[in-house]
Structure 1
Amino acid sequence: MGTTVFERQRPSDAVVDASLQDTAMSVFWLDDVERPTHPPLTGTMAADLVIVGGGYAGLWTAVRAKEREPERRVVLLEASRIAWAASGRNGGFCEASLTHGHENGLTRWPHEIDRLEELGLENLDGIAQTVERYRMDAEFERTGAIALAVEPHQVEWLRAEEGFLDRDAVQAEVHSPTFLAGAWDRDATALVHPAKLGLELARVAADLGVEIFEHSLVRSIEGDGSGPMTVVTRDGGRVIADDVALATNVFPSLLKRNRLMTVPVYDYVLMTEPLSDEQLASIGWSNRQGLADSANQFHYYRLTADNRILFGGYDAVYHFGGKVRAEYEDRMESHRKLASHFFTTFPQLEGLRFTHRWAGAIDSSSRFCAFFGTARRGRVAYATGFTGLGVGAARFAADVMLDELSGEKTERTELAMVREKPIPFPPEPVASIGVNLVRAAMDRADHNEGRRNLFLRTLDAVGMGFDS
C-alpha cells in the first residue's frame, strides 16, 4: 500500500496547531450576511402551491412557479431559517452537471448523456440570467473549474479531457507543489456566495408575491390527492393547497417511500483569513477558478470575494442511524486533517490562519445525483438526493417538479434520469457497516494508484455507491 502526497509532504503539527488556534466554529457565509426574518405560520390559509423547504430547491421552485404563473398563490414553509442548512454552508460551486460528472451520467444514461449535459449548461445559463435579471447580489463568477492531478496516476485520467493542462500550464494558473496536471473546464462551473444566493432567491420570490414563513416545521400532509390537501406544521399552522412541492433534501422525507433513498453524509470545511497581496502573488490564481483534485476522497477549494480560501472535502462522515444533528458538525479530527492537507497544498502560506470551521450534511443518493417523483395522485412532487450538486441542479429540479405537478409530459419529465429511481440504502445496522466499508475501500484505492477493489467494482456494477 502506497502513500498519498498528503502523507509524504505532511506539515508539522505546530503549523496545523497555529492555523487553528483562534478558529470559530461558525459558518463564514452565514456570518457574512444580514438575514431578513419571516414570520412563522399561524392559523389556516389557502394556496395554489405550498412548498416545503427554504433551501435552493424550494426557493427556485417558488421563483419559477411565479415566473410561470404570476397569479398563482404560492406559500413556502421553512422549518428553521431561509438557506440555513446545506444552501447556506456549501462551497459555492454552482455546476452545470446534473449527473455528478460525465462518467457517472454516461454509465447510467448513455443514450441521454449528451442531452443531459446540454440541459445542464442551459440550466447554468438560466441561473446566470436570473442573477442578472433581478440584480441579485450573489457574488456570481463564471470562472470555470480545474480538475487537478495530485498523484501521477491521476495525470493519465485527465490527459484525454478538454482543457488539459500539463504541469507547467497548471502551475502557471495556480502554484502548488502538489499539482502535476489539470483540466480546466471554462464554462461548466460558476462560483457564488451560497448564503447570499439563498437570501437573494428569497428576496426575489417575495418580490414576485411568494408568502414565506420561517420556523414552520411541517409535520404532515393530509389528503390523498383526490381534492385539496392540508399541510400541517408542528405548531398547528395549516395550508390548504391543490399542489405540494417537497424540497426537504437531507431531512427526513414526509413520504415514507423515500426514507431509505438518501443518507446524510457530513462534509467539513475551513475558511482562511483574507490573503495579503504578497500571499496571493505566491500562489497566482488570478483567474479565480474553482479547484478540486481527482481522488476518491477529494478536496475542493476556491477564493472568496475578499480573497480568503475555502478548503473543504476529503472526509465524508456518516453517523449511525442517519440522523442530522448539530453536534456532528464539530469534528476536530476532520478539521485538523483539512488544515494539514491545506499546508501540503500551499506550503508557501505557512502562518496563515483559519477564521472559520464548520460542516454540513449532504443528501447523498446511491446514484450520486438528484431523483424525482410524485405522490398522492400526482399532486405532491419531490426532488432530493443532490449529493453535493444542489447549488446548480436545484433550479433544474424546480422545473421538473413544476412540470410534474402540471400533469403535462415535457422533455424533462420524459427523461430516463427523471423517471428512474436510485437503489435505496439498506436499513441500520447494514447501512452504517456498508458506508464505512465503502469509505475504507475508497481510501485504499487512493493509496493504490486509484485501483478500485472487487467490492467497489461490484457496487459500481449494480448502481450503488457513496460519494461526497
Structure 2
Amino acid sequence: MNLLPGAAELRAVPRSKEFRNGGVSFWYRQTGIPERRAPLAGSAAYDVCIVGGGYTGLWTAYYLKQERPDLRIAVVEREFAGFGASGRNGGWLSAEFAGSRRRHARSRGRQAMVDLQRAMFAGVDEVIDVAAREGIDADIVKGGLIHVATNPAQRARLLAETEDLRQWGFGPDDLRNLDRDEWEGRIRVAGALAATYTPHCARIQPAKLAIGLARTVAGLGVDIFEGTAVSEIRPRTGGRPATAVTDRGDVRADYVIRATEGFTASLAGQRRQWLPMNSSMIVTEPLGADVWKHIGWEGRELLGDEAHAYVYAQRTSDDRIAIGGRGVPYRFGSATDRRGGTQPQTVASLWRVLSRLMPAAAQAPVQHAWCGVLGVPRDWCSTTHVDHESGLGWAGGYVGSGVTTTNLAGRTLRDLVLREDTELTRLPWVGRRVRNWEPEPLRWTGVQLIYHLFRTADRRENDHVAATSAYARIAQMISGR
C-alpha cells in the first residue's frame, strides 16, 4: 500500500455522516462499551494473577478455573477486558501463527513444528466449540480463508506457500490452490491472478467474543479488576511471592502471568521486549444487494492478499466490508496510542485498496476507522513460558495472528502452571527466548526502514516484476523474520 497519498486523495474518500475515527473499534460501536467492573480495592493475595484482560488472559483464566475450580485467580486490566487488540482485530479466527516453520523446527524438531500447526488447526474448532458451549454469540461463521495474488510476484509467493505446506506433510484438505472458476464462484476480486483456500478459519466479531468470554470467566468465580494499571511485575524472591505492582495496591500470587501483548513495553524493564506495532482498519456502511451481486462472498470467507504491506478483510454479519492493514507501524520509544485513531492517509490507503480489489464497493461510505497495537518479538515468533522458580509466566508476541493463538496459549499456560507434561507443553514455542530489540533511535530507524522497503517492494511488484523484489528480501533480513 502507498501510505503517502496527497490531499486530493484524502478528500476523495467517501465518508458516512456518522464517520468516526478512533476511540473504541467499530466492533464496540456495535455492541456498546461494556459496563466497567470495579478496580482492585487494595493489596490482595491470589494463587494466580493474570496481568492483561485480553484474549490471552481470559483464556488462561478460563482453562485454569475449569481444571481447578478451587484456584483463586485474578485478572488485572488497565482499561476494560477486551480493550486492546482483542477488541480491535480483523476477526480472523485462523490457523496462521507467527514465525517461520523452519525456525520453530530448529528448536524442537520437525515433528514438533507439525504438531504446532495441527494444534492451530484444532484451536479454530476449540474456540468455536467453547463459544457454543458457553452461549457466546460472536457472529461466528466457519467459511475458511482465501488468499489472492494480484501480480506475478505475489502469485509466485502464494503458490510457493502451498508447496511448502505439502513438504511438511499437509494436504489439500488443509490448503489448496483454486482455479479461477472456483475463486470467482466464492468472491470476485479484481485483478486476481491466483488464489488459495483453507477451511481452517472462521469469521468472528472480536468484541462479542471478548465480552462473552469475560462474562463467562467472571461467572466461574474469577475476579476481574478493571481500571487498574500494573506498572511492574516482580519475581518471587527471598520468601516473597511473585507480585504485580498496581496503582491500587500489590497483588501477590504463586504465579503472575504477563498477558499484555502490544502493551508489554509499558511495564518496568520490558520496553525492549516486544515491539508495539500498529495495525489499522476501516469499515464501510452496509452494502446493498446490488453490490453483493457483483462481489459474491456468500460464504463469508476471510480474505487476504500477498502484498508485503498486506491487507485482511471480512464481510460482517450486517453486510459491511471491514478491511485492515499497516498504517504508521511504530511510534518512537515503544509508545502506544490508547485513543485508537488512524491517520487520514491510512484511511485513504485502505479505501484505495478496497476500491482496487472490489470496484463495486468503491462508493461505499467509510463509517469508522480505528487502530490497535500488537506485540512483535525480535525473531517474529510467538512464545509462551512459565518459570516455576520465579513464579512468572507469559504468552504473546503474536504479530497479528493472535485470535486462535491466544486460545492455544491459554490451554498451554494452564498445563504449565499446573506442572503437567502434555502435548501442548512440548510444542516448540514453549520456553522460547529471544534477544531484545535494539535501543532507540536504532529501533525506530530500523522499523521505518523496513516498512519503507516493503512499500517500495510492493510498488515495484505492482509493475509486474515476476519475482519477489530485492527490497523485500533486504527488509526481511533486517527485520529478522
Which deviations, in whole Å up to 9, do the C-alpha atoms of 1:108-134 show, x marking residues without a partner?
776132111111122222212111111
Residue 148 of structure 1 corresponds to which residue in structure 2?
148
1:264 equivalent to 2:254? Answer no
Q: Secondary structure of the residue that 2:148 maps to in structure 1?
A: strand
Task: Letter of the 1:322 partner, please give it.
Answer: S
1:182 equivalent to 2:195? Answer yes
Residue 391 of structure 1 corresponds to which residue in structure 2?
403
Closer/same/farther in 2, CA of residues 216 and 328 from structure 1, 3 Å limit = closer
Closer/same/farther in 2, CA of residues 458 and 276 from structure 1, 3 Å limit = closer
Post-superposition offset of 1:409: 3.6
| Equivalent position to 1:167, from 163, 167, 180 | 180
**Contact 1:220 1:231 (C-alpha < 8 Å) held by counterparts:** yes
Any unmatched runs of 5+ in structure 2? 163-174
Post-superposition offset of 1:97: 2.9
Give the whole-Å Cα distance in 1 for the aligned partners of 2:176 and 2:64: 37
Deviating more after overlay: 400-409 vs 123-132: 400-409
Give the whole-Å Cα distance in 2 for the aligned partners of 1:141 and 1:316: 31
Post-superposition offset of 1:169: 2.6
Give the whole-Å Cα distance in 1 for the aligned partners of 2:325 and 2:85: 14
| Equivalent position to 2:297, from 275, 279, 285 | 285
Residue 368 of structure 2 corresponds to which residue in structure 1?
356
Task: Letter of the 2:354 partner, please give it.
Answer: F
Give the whole-Å Cα distance in 1 for the aligned partners of 2:10 and 2:227: 43
Which deviations, in whole Å up to 9, do the C-alpha atoms of 1:182-233 show, x marking residues without a partner?
10101x2111110111111101101111111110111234552544334332
| Equivalent position to 1:25, from 8, 21, 25 | 21
Residue 294 of structure 1 corresponds to which residue in structure 2?
306
Q: Secondary structure of the residue that 2:348 maps to in structure 1?
A: helix
**TM-score, normalised with respect to structure 1:** 0.89
Counterparts of residues 14-413 of structure 1 (less than 5 Å): 16-19=12-15, 23-26=19-22, 27-34=25-32, 35-99=34-98, 111=110, 112-159=112-159, 161=162, 162-186=175-199, 188-222=200-234, 224-225=236-237, 226-235=239-248, 237-253=249-265, 258-315=270-327, 317-326=329-338, 329-375=341-387, 377-413=389-425
Closer/same/farther in 2, CA of residues 139 and 107 from structure 1, 3 Å limit = farther
**Contact 1:374 1:381 (C-alpha < 8 Å) held by counterparts:** yes
1:464 equivalent to 2:480? Answer yes
Give the whole-Å Cα distance in 1 for the aligned partners of 2:471 and 2:349: 28
**TM-score, normalised with respect to structure 2:** 0.87
Give the whole-Å Cα distance in 2 for the aligned partners of 1:366 and 1:372: 15
Q: Secondary structure of the residue that 1:292 maps to in structure 2?
A: strand
Post-superposition offset of 1:270: 0.5
Which deviations, in whole Å up to 9, do the C-alpha atoms of 1:319-376 show, x marking residues without a partner?
2211002467331111111111211112122321011011111112233332123457
Task: Letter of the 1:451 partner, please give it.
Answer: T
Give the whole-Å Cα distance in 1 for the aligned partners of 2:103 and 2:198: 17
Q: What count of residue pairs does the alignment treat as equivalent? A: 455
Task: Letter of the 1:217 partner, please give it.
Answer: A
Closer/same/farther in 2, CA of residues 202 and 135 from structure 1, 3 Å limit = same
**Contact 2:94 2:201 (C-alpha < 8 Å) held by counterparts:** yes
**Contact 2:229 2:246 (C-alpha < 8 Å) held by counterparts:** yes
Which deviations, in whole Å up to 9, do the C-alpha atoms of 1:135-164 show, x marking residues without a partner?
111111111100111112322333463421
Any unmatched runs of 5+ in structure 1? none
Post-superposition offset of 1:313: 0.5
Deviating more after overlay: 302-311 vs 114-123: 114-123
Residue 470 of structure 2 corresponds to which residue in structure 1?
453
1:418 equivalent to 2:427? Answer no
**Contact 2:53 2:80 (C-alpha < 8 Å) held by counterparts:** yes
Post-superposition offset of 1:107: 7.9
Deviating more after overlay: 347-356 vs 325-334: 325-334
Give the whole-Å Cα distance in 2 for the aligned partners of 1:407 and 1:254: 29
Q: Secondary structure of the residue that 1:71 maps to in structure 2?
A: coil
**Contact 1:423 1:464 (C-alpha < 8 Å) held by counterparts:** no
